[in-house]
Structure formats: C-alpha cells, structure tokens
Amino acid sequence: MAHTQETVHAIVEKQRAFFRTGKTLDVGFRIEQLKKLKQAVLAHKAELEAALYEDLNKSETEAYLCDVGPVIVEINEILKGLRKWARPERHFSGLMCFPSMTTKVFKMPYGVSLVISPFNFPILLTLGVLAASISGGNTAVLKTSSKSAACTKALQTLIADTFPEAYVTVVDGGHDVADMCLSERFDKIFYTGSPAVAKHVLEMAAKHLTSVALELGGETGNWCIVRKDANLRDAARKIAFFKLCNAGQICINVNQIAVAEEVAEPFLDALKAEFVRQIGEAPEENPEYPKLITPAVFEKCERITSQYRDRVVFGGKGNRDTVKFAPTILYPVGTDEDVVRHELFCPILPVVPFKDADVDALLSVIAEREHPLSMYVFTSDKKWANRVMSTLQFGGGCVNEVCIHMMVKGVPFNGTGHSGMGAYHGEWGFKEFTHPQTVLFGKTHGNLPLREHPYSGKTGARKRTLLNRFER
C-alpha cells in the first residue's frame, strides 16, 4: 500500500480511539496479546527465516539465533514478570502529608507508540520492541525498513493475521513515509538506527514534545582492546565470530581493535586463522556468509579497501553479484585516521597497535570521542578491566567476551549520548513504554492547619518548629 499523510493520520487516529477504550490498561489483555504474538512468531517462523535469507542471506541457523529466537526469549521474560512490574507501587505519604497515609505510583502507558526499526535485524528489532510496547499497554505503529523488503512483507502478514490495525499495524515505505509518521502526534517514539537520522527523529518529536527512546550505533564506533596479557586465541575466535555475524552489520559490533603491539603479530595470525576456520578461504563465495544490504554498502567496502590497499593484511575481496564482501583486516591503523573515527557497519576491521604501557593514553582517546554503544576488553588483569568498564562511558560491553551481554535477562540494553537514550529488554522495556504516575490519597477529616496561613507571629513560630521536626 502506498501511504499518504492522510492514510497515516487515519491509522494514528484509529489507534488513538482504540487506546481510549481502556482495553490496553488491563494487564490480562496485554498478556493475552503477548501470547498471540509469540504464537504468531512460531507459526510464521519459516516465512520469517526465508525473508531474512532473501534480504541478508542469513542461514536458517543464524536467522533463528540472532533474529527469531531472541523474540521468543524476550516475550517469555515479559510474560513471566509483567503482573509484578505493572502492579502499582504503594508508599507511605510521610508526616509532611498527614493525615494522608497512602500514595500510589501507577505505571501508565503512554498511548499510541511509533516503532521505527532498521534493516540489520528486522525481525528482532521490530517485534522485540513491539513486545515492550504491548507490555506497557500501548498501541503500536511499526515503521519497518524499506531496505529489508522481504522481512517487511513477512511482518505485515504476521501482524495483520494477529492483531487489528487499530491496535498494531505495519507501515511500509521509505524515508518519505517515515516523515509522514513523524509528522503525526505520537505518545512514544522508539527509533533504532544511526545518530544522524536520530537527530531528525528528535527534531520532529520535539514539535509534539513526544517522549523518545533511541538505540544507535555510536558516531565513532565500538572499540575492542586486546592487552598483551590476553588469551589471544580466545580473543581472536570470539572477534572473528562476531565480525562474520551479519557481515558486520550490527550496531554493537567491533568497529576497530586496539591491540598491544607486543602481541600484534601473533594476534593477527590467530585472527586470520579463525576467519578461515569459521568461514573458509573465500568467505565471499560461502553460501552461509551473509550479504550486505545494498550495493552502496558493497561500494563503500571497495572504496575503503582501495584507500587502504597497502595495509590490507586479510580479505579485501568481494563478489559484486552476490553483494558479499569478505572480512577485511587493515593493519596498522592510527587512532586519528578517518576509518576509526566513524561507525563502519560492514566487514572491514581496522587494527590499531599501541604500546601496552601506554594503554591509559588510548583510553583517553576513546573517552574524548562520542560514547560508543559497546566496549570490549580482553585481558587477564581483572582489576584493570573492572576499572576501565566502570569509568568509561558506553552503552554496555564485555570482558573477555563479545556481544552476549545483550542476551542476559534482567539487564538493560541501551546507549548514551551519540549511542542513544532510553533502555529496553524485559522490565526495562516495560519501564521505557510506561510513565510513573504518582497519586496521593487524601483524608477529609483530621487535616492540620500547618500548611495554611498565618505564617507569622507565635502561630508561625509553632508551625516552623513542627516543620523542622518533620524534616529530620
């Protein structure tokens, strides 16, 4: 369907009318809808995996591991905890509020939500966010990426088969349709994508003072530090797996590696060996290797590789027909070079050597740049690792691991600064899609004149004495 501003407006108004019926306020209703969503994902699993293969050449296993399966895990976590999360909090009002004894905090939905999802994990980053929106009691308009057209079509079928348009619907189209959505007054916007587009989302949302959550890749990319005391084979194995996943098109992926120059050569040897072991000598010809989303990304890989041709120590080849580009290591690269000052979002992997004794200088460089979404360190020095991970600012990360921090139940997934605002997953997603509403329950008898005039003379003095006691 080709959308116009009028059709988008009609969808939003239809959802607003549905929200005002109060049906979504009932936690039982939300649980029922989440169960429907889970069953729909399971019933449409084959179609979703086929769509992921068509858009990104994801194998059946990778599609389930990274996109479909995590949606089920997310829904299960919400179903387990939702009744507890949604329960109003009860607080003692305090002596200052006497004779009131009770204040409650209600967890209220925002209303009509807009979810703008990206191409790289089109199922997870649409339905996972939808689950959070439903848990909070909202309706949802899902604006999916035009780049992952097969997944958008599969999502349209799944959602239309499961929910009425007045509750949840998928809106397809390009940037023009996204702007049509952003022109409408939504009550909550959740955007996943680039910092550049996020600025536009915020600007549009500001016109209606709409609450916004942003999950972004980070302006200057995610760092991985490999110290000289690291287990090099273990680090190489994990980094290679991660860079191969979705051909590097992941917001939390390693953008550049900083490796202690004392161990740079053996680390590079281990990294090359791991790429070959996991995907073969010619990854761009391997049917299991994911493809790049558009020819434009392929051309970017060719352009960067050409620019650094004398420093390509692994890979550097691609298949234009299949839009696949091999994982490519650039070495050595300086901390101030352009390739390590921007998020790459592709299989290219710059490696920056540093003297291990000068690691603090490297950390200063990282700290001076925009906050990354993820941070990874490989070292046997747990004390140093703990200091680094508790003082640098970033969204989330791992010590001697990659990526799986986002799979831990009960913890938030989020960024900060140029890598985002807001958080979700489990209860954090419920909180993101609700606002706390404080209500004090007053009494009609026994009210004291403490807060009322007069404030002067002996009466005022007595009031001040009592107030001083209450404030202790």
Residues classed as catalytic: 215, 251
Q: Which residues contact 169 (CB under 8 A, 6 or more apart)?
A: 11, 15, 140, 141, 142, 159, 160, 163
Report how far residue 178's alpha carbon sits from residue 145's, in angstroms, rounded to the nearest whole number.
9
C-alpha distance from residue 367 to each of 27, 125, 271, 336, 386 (Å): 43, 28, 26, 14, 16
Rounding to the nearest 10 degrees, give the CA dihedral for residues 276, 279, 281, 287: 180
Which amino acid, 154? Answer: A
Q: Three-state SS for 51?
A: helix
Determine which helix (DSSP H) or strand (DSSP E) holds 192, and give its type and residue range.
strand 188-193
Report how far residue 321's alpha carbon sits from residue 324's, in angstroms, rounded to the nearest whole number.
8
Q: Which residues contact 396 (CB under 8 A, 6 or more apart)?
A: 252, 373, 374, 375, 405, 406, 411, 412, 413, 414
Report how far residue 335's alpha carbon sits from residue 341's, in angstroms, rounded to the nearest whole number.
8
Could you tell me how far CA 345 lies from the centroid of its own chain?
15
Rounding to the nearest 10 degrees, give the CA dihedral for residues 250, 251, 253, 258: 150
As a residue count, the chain comes to: 472
